Amino acid sequence: MNRKKNYFKRKAVLLNKHDKESVIVPLLEESTGLKIVVEKSYDTDLFGTFTKEISRKGSQMEAARLKAQKGMELTGLDIGISSEGIFGSHPVIPFVPWNYEIVLFVDKREGNEIIGESGTTATNYDYIVTDDYKELEEFAEKILFPSHFIVLRPDDEKHNSIIKGISSLKSLREAFDWGMKKSMNNKVFVEPDTRAFANPTRMENIKEATYNLIKKMESICPNCSTPGFAIVDNKAGLPCECCGNPTKEILTRVYICKKCAHIEEKRVEDSSASAGRCMFCNP
């Protein structure tokens, strides 16, 4: 048995509807030893969807916890896994599209929760409001259609009628005609279908979040041996290579165990920061 397979022979449930299991399950099973059951009987859209018919309840993290909980409830298993993503603009750089994915691991028996995460600007998220089919086709090409599917509504993003999963030029044309006919202001609102199976770029980011989760699950608390000994904070102060004064670059990473609250600070590998990052040498 691989020393790293901390969850050898334990069973977990992944509550899921949109084929995310194809990336999450094999990676997690292989590296942790878990046996994962995929539970599809529950409509996870009830927790809120990307396509706006149902507004998201609570934060992304709360939604992920609800899904993990629901999966355990439905199956009676004591490990729940879930995945939840958001699209918006970059937290620091305005107007830059941003996709942030969480893959959550909840171990009810051991009272442990581990969060895999990945944020990226590599997303095709964008939208268009148009009455011009030519313009729509150009937009479609820009957002990587048809490998990435499209969602279309009459009027604007709030309209109740919607066509999802548009994946061919023929169906795009039909959806456009349908939307224009239903529209009050003679325009359609179009954006990428961000459900995982309809969006390979998003699927890639879910994969990254899964790798991040695995890395944390393999990190063991030196005090109580609980998996998930993860970085919670970074402390700045890496000394400048020239003058030795502290810079804003990271000097230590702070690890904490959620179970026993053991804390450890680990120094980064770099011995110094470049003078370009120093406010004395490069004010």
Q: Where does this chain bind Zn ion (CB under 5 A)?
A: 221, 223-224, 226, 240, 242-243, 257, 259-260, 262, 278, 280-281
Tokens of 27: 């990676």
Report the alpha-carbon distance of residue 92 to residue 215 in Å, rounded. Answer: 26
Report the alpha-carbon distance of residue 186 to residue 244 in Å, rounded. Answer: 64
Report the alpha-carbon distance of residue 78 to residue 4 in Å, rounded. Answer: 20
Distance of closest approach, residue 219 Cβ to Zn ion, in angstroms: 11
- Number of residues that this document lists for the chain: 283
Distance of closest approach, residue 193 Cβ to Zn ion, in angstroms: 42
Q: Indicate the residue among 236 and 243 with the shorter CB distance to Zn ion.
A: 243
Q: Indicate the residue among 144 and 250 with the shorter CB distance to Zn ion.
A: 250
Q: Indicate the residue among 34 and 278 with the shorter CB distance to Zn ion.
A: 278
Q: Please name every residue paired with 204 in a beta bridge, in sequence order, or none if there are none.
A: none
Report whether 195 contacts 17 (CB < 8 A). no
Q: Indicate the residue among 37 and 278 with the shorter CB distance to Zn ion.
A: 278
State the alpha helices, DSSP H only, in 54-131: 60-75
Q: Indicate the residue among 121 and 245 with the shorter CB distance to Zn ion.
A: 245
Distance of closest approach, residue 258 Cβ to Zn ion, in angstroms: 8
Distance of closest approach, residue 61 Cβ to Zn ion, in angstroms: 22
Query: By C-alpha distance, which of 148, 199, 196 is closest to 18?
Result: 196
Query: By C-alpha distance, which of 50, 44, 54 is closest to 17?
Result: 44
Report the alpha-carbon distance of residue 218 to residue 224 in Å, rounded. Answer: 14
Q: Indicate the residue among 112 and 205 with the shorter CB distance to Zn ion.
A: 112
Distance of closest approach, residue 238 Cβ to Zn ion, in angstroms: 11
Q: Indicate the residue among 143 and 273 with the shorter CB distance to Zn ion.
A: 273
How far, in Å, are 140, 163, 186, 205, 214 from residue 180 at the CA level? Answer: 17, 13, 6, 34, 47
Report the run of H or E that residue 25 belongs to, with start and end: helix 21-32
Report the alpha-carbon distance of residue 207 to residue 253 in Å, rounded. Answer: 24
Distance of closest approach, residue 250 Cβ to Zn ion, in angstroms: 16
Tokens of 3: 């020393």
Distance of closest approach, residue 223 Cβ to Zn ion, in angstroms: 4
